[in-house]
Amino acid sequence: MRDDGRRARIMAAVTVRDPAAGVSELTQRLCRFAVDEMALSGCALVLMPTAESTTVLAGAGRHARTVTGLQMELGEGPCLQAYASGVPVLLPDLAAENANRWPAFATAALAAGVRAEFSLPLSVGPGGIGTLDLCRDTPGMLSEEHLADALVAADIARDAVLYQPYAQVGPDLVELLATIGTDRVVIHQATGMIAVQLDETMSNALARLRAAAFASGRSIYDIAQDVVERQVRFDE
């Protein structure tokens, strides 16, 4: 089932200088490897404790954060589908997706210059911990070789996050998680404030925040910033 030769080749490519690299360095190199090897415009390793919060652990390429950011904005998209279903979502031509599964996402991604998106789940048994997302600024399917490499890269990333170099989720990863994605923190803070303003659940408060961003054409981050700075209230 596992392609040991492929795994060994990719591991060698990402550990060449420093075999003892921590999870942060290793996942970063994996994304870089994918971008270079597969001519991608972006690759990101995204951790998701739930479908409602995403943390970009590592990324490479100019579109590294584009796809994840849009899905956080819109609450829909291929990464969320891959995470929820445990099955890869392969979209070789987003222009053809336009009217289909994710109209809002496809339109926004095209506007940002993304033409193809491939989202691979980081599966653990029946569940998962996130996705490895690959995108291109040109349409077209990944070759079989590249897809096979990407699937193995997703396995390596998952194992790196879960195993390396500690027996449990150790201080390395915890520290890393405490310092990354700080621009997303404000979204969760604003969600808490809106939940109080509307006497609502966190899920509904986040949905209201998204809806406000979508309706105003601004980013969810900007609106959240306004909420935290008390420029905007939701109970008025």
Q: What does the binding site for other proteins look like in residue numbers (CB under 8 A)?
A: 47-50, 52-53, 55, 124-129, 161-163, 168-169, 173-174, 177-178, 185, 188-197, 202, 228
The nearer residue to other proteins, 24 or 191, going by C-beta atoms, is 191
Q: Which residue has the tokens 């390793």?
A: 45
Q: What DSSP element (H or E) covers 48?
A: strand 42-50
The nearer residue to other proteins, 95 or 185, going by C-beta atoms, is 185
Give the number of other CB atoms < 10 A from CB of residue 231.
9
Minimum distance from CB of 236 to other proteins (Å)? 14
DSSP state of 143: P
Instruction: State CA 184 to chain mean position distance.
Output: 13
Minimum distance from CB of 196 to other proteins (Å)? 4
Q: How far apart are CA 203 and CA 177, in angstroms?
A: 22
3-state secondary structure of 137: coil
Minimum distance from CB of 4 to other proteins (Å)? 12
Minimum distance from CB of 106 to other proteins (Å)? 27
Nearest to 119 by CA among 156, 92, 137, 95: 92
The nearer residue to other proteins, 141 or 169, going by C-beta atoms, is 169
The nearer residue to other proteins, 28 or 41, going by C-beta atoms, is 28
